[in-house]
Amino acid sequence: MDQQVPSTTSGLKVSIIIPVYNGGPSFRLCLKSLEQSTRKPDEIIVVADGDTDGSSEFARSFGATVFRYPSAGGPARARNRGATLATGDVLFFVDADVTVHPDTVAQVEEVFQSDLELAALIGSYDDDPGASNFLSQYKNLFHHYTHQISSSTASTFWGACGAIRRHVFFDVGGFDEGYRKPCVEDIELGYRLKQSGYSIRLCKRIQVKHLKCWRPLSLLKAEVFYRALPWSELLLGDRQFNADLNLSHSNRISVVCAFLLVVTSVTGFFVPPFLGLSIILAIILLITNWSVYQFFLDRKGLFFTLRVIPWHWLYFLYGGGAFAYGVARYFLSRLQLPKLPMPHGIQKSGRFL
């Protein structure tokens, strides 16, 4: 694929940056989808993060500019390296397990053309996930739903489908390389962008397809250790409690109700009147999240939606539990007592740009 495609009359040059470890077939589909774009990217930069499956070789054969690290150091470092190699006015970060729509790149350029004050934008997963198993369909569709109902004024960035003006990226220092795993490095970058006075827009029509196949253990590990725990620490440290995306007021109410439901259900085995309270709490959870269940009902039918409900309530439990753990760590540190441990590789330790 010829990387040197002329820019449009706007003069904007769009650089695609893809970090990859062992991307496998999904990564190949990612690159091929870029080849089918109606507006070709001006350059595609792949940073192979210690790959052992030939991802870097495939990217070279495809025609991408490739930099390969000998060992893995995390997507934050890889994205930063890609940014230093890029020459575009707009840096468009794409994950290796997504495919872009034919008009995705054109839409990114159009948004930056139309709003010269816009610093960064994020897109959304589409409503047709690549993996067909229930958990992958649920998780990726839920992500799509969350973005589609959220405010277009965003307070976070998103590395799977996020674009930023080059000069803004370097002005705020890029991604925090202290995050050594796929973590909340994109959210943290978004917080710094907002603190520096830059604007981020959630563009709901700019969509990519997520190909990842989620399994119960892989989902819970990623959600708890690489998302909920570090995000809780980030929230408490920066005090960024904006009610968007997963921090909506309905989610906060649902977390409280989910924990109370567990307590009253267990207590109800010994004190039967508590079972009545459990039923009330379950009804509150259903009503509070009815728009979510209506979305799944319309898309996937009744049986699928009934399977969604316990996973959705579990999501409130582990999200709330991670936040409670983060609060405990935070106040122990304020009291100068030994902190509860944080799993290795997800602590924030400073930027490198």
Q: Is 174 helix (H, G, I), strand (E, B) or coil?
A: coil
Mean pLDDT over the full length of the chain: 90
Q: For a pLDDT cut of 90, what percent of the chain falls above it?
A: 76
Q: Residue 27's domain spans which residues?
A: 14-213
Given a cut of 80, whether residue 3 has pLDDT beyond it is: no
> Per residue in 295-319, pLDDT tens?
999 999 999 999 999 999 999 999 8
What are the tokens at 16? Answer: 């695609």
- The Cα 324–Cα 185 span in angstroms is 21
Instruction: Say what the pLDDT of residue 343 is.
Output: 59
Q: What is the C-alpha separation between 320 and 167, in angstroms, rounded?
A: 37
- Write out pLDDT tens, residues 176-203: 999 988 889 999 999 999 999 999 999 9
- pLDDT confidence of residue 325: 84
Q: Is the pLDDT of residue 146 over 80?
A: yes
Q: How confident is the model at residue 18 (pLDDT cuts 50, 70, 90)?
A: very high
Sign of CA dihedral 75, 155, 317, 143: negative
Query: How many domains would you assign to the chain?
Result: 1
Q: What's the rounded Cα separation, in Å, for the pair 40 and 44?
A: 10
pLDDT digits (tens, 9 = 90+) for 25-62: 999 999 999 999 999 999 999 999 999 999 999 999 99
Phi/psi region, residue 102 (left: phi>0; alpha: psi -120 to 50; beta: rest), is: alpha
- Whether residue 131 lies inside any domain: the answer is yes
Sign of CA dihedral 292, 295, 301, 304: negative
350 within some domain: no
Share of the chain above pLDDT 70, in %: 89
Q: Which burial class, exposed, middle or buried, applies to 104 when counting CB atoms under 10 A from its CB (0-12, 13-18, 19+)?
A: buried
Cα separation, 295 vs 140, in Å, equals 13
- Residues contacting 290, CB < 8 A, separation 6+: none
pLDDT of residue 238: 61
CATH code of 206's domain:
3.90.550.10
Which of the pair, 345 or 255, is modelled with greater confidence? 255
What per-residue confidence (pLDDT) applies to 290?
97
Q: Quick one: CA dihedral 56, 347, 93, 141, positive or negative?
A: positive
Does the structure show a pLDDT above 70 at 122? yes
Residue 92 lies in a domain: yes
- Give per-residue pLDDT as tens, 245-272: 556 788 889 999 999 999 999 999 899 9
Q: What is the pLDDT of residue 349?
A: 45
pLDDT at 84: 98
Q: Which two tokens stand for residue 163?
A: 């674009």
- The mean-pLDDT minimum among 109-118, 156-165, 240-249 falls in 240-249
Q: Is 163 helix (H, G, I), strand (E, B) or coil?
A: strand
How many CA atoms are closer than 13 Å to the CA of 64, on its beta-carbon side? 32
Domain-embedded: residue 240: no
Give the CA distances from residue 339 to residues 265, 327, 344, in Å, rounded to whole numbers and listed in that order: 32, 11, 14
Can you give the pLDDT at residue 210? Answer: 98
- CB proximity list for 64: less than 8 A, separation 6 or greater: 1, 3, 18, 31, 44, 45, 46
Strand ordering across the sheet containing 14-20? 65-69, 43-49, 14-20, 90-94, 161-165, 120-125, 200-210, 98-100
- The verdict on residue 281 lying in a domain is no
The partner residues of 209 in beta bridges, in order of sequence, read 99
Question: What is the pLDDT, as a whole number, of residue 235?
Answer: 80
So what's the pLDDT on residue 288?
96
Task: Identify which of 78, 65, 83 has the alpha carbon closest to the alpha carbon of residue 170.
Answer: 83
| Domain assignment of residue 352, yes or no | no
* Beta carbons of 96 and 30 less than 8 angstroms apart: yes
In a domain, 261, yes or no: no
Which pLDDT does position 344 carry in this prediction?
53
